[in-house]
Structure 1
Amino acid sequence: MKHLLQCMCGNNMSLPLLKEAATVSGSEKETAAVIFLHGLGDTGQGWADTMTEFQLPHVKYIFPHAPRIPVTLNLKSVMPAWFDLMGLTPDSPEDESGIKKAADNIKAIIEHEAKNGIPPNRIMLGGFSQGGALSLYTALTCQHQLGGVVALSCWLPLHKSFPSASSGNRNLPILQCHGEMDTMIPVQFGAMTAEMLKSLVDPKMITFKTYPGLSHSSSHQEMEAVKEFIEKHLPRI
């Protein structure tokens, strides 16, 4: 299973993203929401299919699809991507404007859900690879304290701009998971990200789990940990 992330600013611009998003509805009154962002070249549908096995009855799951854009890392091929990628090392140049625009798009979805009755502290962001990176950046720069972040096989974008970019979300719960055999985004990058996050968020709020034998993908064991994290921080009311 391969997965990475996008969105749009302003009230109306985020609605097409929401309209086209794959969703998994709760089986009872929805009192919480998880917005989960796929990886590079993927769509939200694969993650929607995966999450049906791990869903909670009171939680609404939203899986937006990234726009198709040229990606420098892949020889300018046009594919679903939340922002452009120039490289996958900590010192690679970054698409700052694209990252900020994508984060604004996700924040617009948060605002939309909040207007429809789910408060921001009952909304969690999550994502895989590029999607996980965007979910981390968005949550840390969001004016609201969110319910948490699930960051799978990813990194913190624009890390040099923190902590000045951070909105002071010291108590943001973060679950970071990484495969120990990941050759695309090595687990060392995940560990560096976890250390960096400890300077932005109360270290007690950060859980970093690694999975032996797991490459740049997810596993049943990892998804069970995700479900437990969501259940803990978005409990039934």
Structure 2
Amino acid sequence: MDPRERFDDGQEALRAAMDGLQGRINTAIPGIIQSFNAAAMTAVVQPAVQRQVRDPAGIWHWVNLPLLLDCPVHFPSGGGFTLTFPVAPGDEVLVIIADRCIDAWWSSGGVQAQAELRMHDLSDGFVIPKVWSQPNTIGGVSGNSTQLRSDDGETYVEVAGGEVVTVKAPTRIVLDSPDVTISGRLSILNSEGHAAPCAIAGAVYATGDVVAGAGGASVSLQHHIHGGVQPGSGSTAAPTPGT
């Protein structure tokens, strides 16, 4: 009991009682991932804000809250598509506490009766990754584009103004599909913006012509001719189809 509740002051006693009640209502709290179960999509989280408890001698101490077990982890999702992240121990997250017991819903889905009549209980947390305390901010956040990026900013997919999408990967980009369609002109440049060689493992099939040296002394694969390969000033015919 709060000592103020013993005062001969009704308003002060009421305020003390309300403070005590409010102190038992859990809504949201930052936490730190201890482990992540990818199959169940749940996490064990250590709340990152301590609470005060009073020992038998009346001395107050700051203590850790207990671990929050089997917290469902939220990933942006809808319509059969989901954006996932590799949640890792040490990640800072936000834990949202449900108003009522979520056990029956979590185990069975759909609309369920409450398994227990608890309210605002730490047992009913949802995890939203990720939030950052000041020592752990990633830095370099773009102020004029949307990015899906690594924390170090070296790898990203960026949607910017001017109808431009940029993909950056310091090592390589892998497109794994039996059929890749590129609609539009394709330019291959090196890191300095200059033309770069292109290595293709396998046959190349083109429904149209292939032109080398485009923009200069261009040569057509389908229609080029050769000079000086027979006596006189004649030229060879165009390439023979099917050869």
| Structure whose CA Rg is larger | 2
Same-fold status (TM-score > 0.5): no
Give the TM-score normalised by structure 1: 0.19
Give the TM-score normalised by structure 2: 0.19
- Give the number of the structure with larger relative contact order, counting CA–CA contacts within 8 Å between residues 6 or more apart: 1
